[in-house]
Structure 1
Amino acid sequence: MRLQFVGSIPAKFLLIDLDRWLARAYAIDTMAKILIVDDDPDLVQLLSMALQAKNHIVESANDPIEGMKVCRSFKPELILLDYHMPGDTGAHLFENLRRNRATAHTPVVFMSGEAASSDIFAEIADPANARFLAKPVKIDFLRKTIDEMLAKPSL
């Protein structure tokens, strides 16, 4: 069924309704697809619950190789990435992500309880669109960081 307007509506009412509609649509559509790559299952569960409480869609991987596989199918809008993991480092996964056209500009938040941000950013070639959080991660600060990273325009 097609609806048709008959008559006219003052522009100021259209703008007010449009503003309300956009505000509502933005509030509903604020969720993002977030991938957590970390070898600590307890931390992954905690972060997943905290992010899902804010309507984010969350997937996880417990090592960088699995993380790259999940990236291909899940297509995350942001990645939370542990720096130290058995077998490979988060920095290596980051470099692989940057070489892949589909993930080259995906924001990444590194997390580590062992390395300083200067150590991590010295190891990666292009730290653009990346942040660092020290473990233990404070959930409120993590949410704020995620909001800031998602608000940035992609390069």
Structure 2
Amino acid sequence: MSEKKTRILIIDDDPEIVSYLTDIFQDAGYETLSAGNGVEGIEVAQTRKPDLITLDMDMPGRGGTLFYVKMRQEPYLAEIPVVVISGVGPRPPALNKSVPVIQKPITPEVVLETVKKMLAK
């Protein structure tokens, strides 16, 4: 029987970033899911139950802040660790202080190290 892979949901409206993060995570042995916006992100999170979510804050439609607030209101999603990977400046006030924020452009080592730390909590 194979071991269940850790599942990471990537929420970003930029297909190049999604592809880049997918490559980084899959090369490191993670299973990946993706969503192009916050609405799709909530749907994927509810149906696929990821172990961790990477979240872009600056997206059209339901952006990262609205996704995060909605996610924290859902009992079965509220405990999923989130890592913000975004080009936006200061930390949005809605984010819990424990949520790490990685500024774009990103380096794979920083992303993987941050994800490992969050999954270990």
1:43 counterpart SS class: helix
1:85 counterpart SS class: coil
5+ unaligned residues in a row in structure 1: which ranges?
Answer: 1-27
| TM score, norm. by length of structure 1 | 0.73
1:35 counterpart SS class: strand
Residue 42 of structure 1 corresponds to: 16
Counterparts of 1:6-155 in structure 2, within 5 Å, are 29=3, 31-117=5-91, 120=92, 122=93, 124=94, 127=96, 129-152=98-121
5+ unaligned residues in a row in structure 2: which ranges?
Answer: none
The root-mean-square deviation of aligned C-alpha atoms, in Å, is 1.6
> How much does 1:29 deviate?
4.9
> How much does 1:94 deviate?
0.6
Moved over 3 A (4+): 28-31
- CA 1:142 to 1:134, structure 2 compared with 1: closer, same or farther past 3 Å? same
Larger Rg: 1
Percent identity reads 32
* Deviations 1:59-100, CA, capped at 9 Å, x for gaps: 000000000000011100100000000112201101111110
Counterpart code for 1:49: D
| TM score, norm. by length of structure 2 | 0.92
| Number of aligned residue pairs | 120
> How much does 1:116 deviate?
2.0
Counterpart code for 2:113: K
Higher share of residues assigned helix? 1
* Deviations 1:85-118, CA, capped at 9 Å, x for gaps: 011220110111111011111100112212223x
> How much does 1:131 deviate?
1.3
